[in-house]
Amino acid sequence: LEDAVRQADRLSSLGALAAGLAHEIKNPLGGIKGAAQLLEMELPDNPELRDYTRVMLKEVQRVNRIVEDLLALASPRKLELSKVNLHKVLGDILLLQKRAVDGRRITFIQQFDPSIPPILADESLLTQLFLNLIKNAVEAVGDGGQVKVKSRILSDYSMMPKGEGRSRLVAIDVCDDGPGIDKEELDHLFTPFYTTKSKGTGLGLAICQKIIAEHRGMIRVDSEPGKGTAFTVMLPLI
């Protein structure tokens, strides 16, 4: 028990440290960004130097994203609960993702069960959760690929942990026909900073896991290498 307490202590002070650090980084980063933007304006007819400022701004944006993700993961916060229309959240995300696709043709399919009522949740966190999952799916598929988002009421309670009561669950599947995930990889997916992408932060799924835990939900991954991947989020329907 002592070990567990010590570990929890260490984790929470590590979280506070990370959150503090993230805040400290954001201010000077803003300064660098402002200076790079000024520089860019002052260099209208020097394409070579402008390439440098463009790189600076892009990299600043990247550090910013990492810091934002780290903050989302490390800082303690209170849920702001309200009745959330899940399908509106998912629909809005899909709308934006459709436009974000860089020249690849991707088919988006949404299959929603209209009988699902609004759920009690933190809307901005749910948006973050599903945005992360849908972005991963979009990043996984190639030209001609398919991303499907499906909602359903879960009637199979066998996956519920014992003692969790028998509240009904809503399940949201985010499926893609990308390359899939190897068995050995599956164990690492939710570990902070685990990424196989050159531009990834490896924080997306760790954040998803935290948000789902905060909502007393569960997540599972089904993947078949060569065929595709399905992430299923289960949330209590209250």
Which residues are at the interface with Mg ion (CB under 5 A)? Answer: 136, 204
Spatial separation of the C-alpha atoms in residues 188 and 186, rounded to whole Å: 6
Query: Which one of ligand ADP, Mg ion, none is in contact with 141 (Cβ closer than 5 to 8 A by kind)?
Result: none
**Smallest separation (angstroms) from ligand ADP to the CB of 187:** 11
Residues 170-199 that bind ligand ADP (CB under 6 A): 176, 178, 181, 189, 194-197
Nearest to ligand ADP of 128, 229 (CB atom): 229
- Binding footprint of ligand ADP, residue count (CB under 6 A): 19
Question: Is 205 a residue that touches ligand ADP (CB under 6 A)?
Answer: yes
Residues 112-141 that bind ligand ADP (CB under 6 A): 132, 136-137, 140
Question: Is 75 a residue that touches ligand ADP (CB under 6 A)?
Answer: no
Nearest to ligand ADP of 204, 236 (CB atom): 204
Question: Is 202 a residue that touches ligand ADP (CB under 6 A)?
Answer: yes
Q: By CB under 6 A, name the one of 151, 201, 209, 232 that touches ligand ADP.
A: 201
Q: Provide DSSP, the chain.
A: -HHHHHHHHHHHHHHHHHHHHHHHHHHHHHHHHHHHHHHHHH-TT-HHHHHHHHHHHHHHHHHHHHHHHHHHHHS-----EEEE-HHHHHHHHHHHHHHH--S--EEEEEE--TTPPPEEEEHHHHHHHHHHHHHHHHHH--TTEEEEEEEEEE--GGGSPTTSTT--EEEEEEEE-SS---HHHHTTTTSTT---STT--S-HHHHHHHHHHHTT-EEEEEEETTTEEEEEEEEE--
Query: Which one of Mg ion, ligand ADP, none is in contact with 52 (Cβ closer than 5 to 8 A by kind)?
Result: none
Spatial separation of the C-alpha atoms in residues 105 and 8, rounded to whole Å: 46
Query: Which one of Mg ion, ligand ADP, none is in contact with 178 (Cβ closer than 5 to 8 A by kind)?
Result: ligand ADP
Query: Which one of Mg ion, ligand ADP, none is in contact with 217 (Cβ closer than 5 to 8 A by kind)?
Result: none
The contact set with ligand ADP (CB under 6 A) reads 132, 136-137, 140, 176, 178, 181, 189, 194-197, 200-205, 229
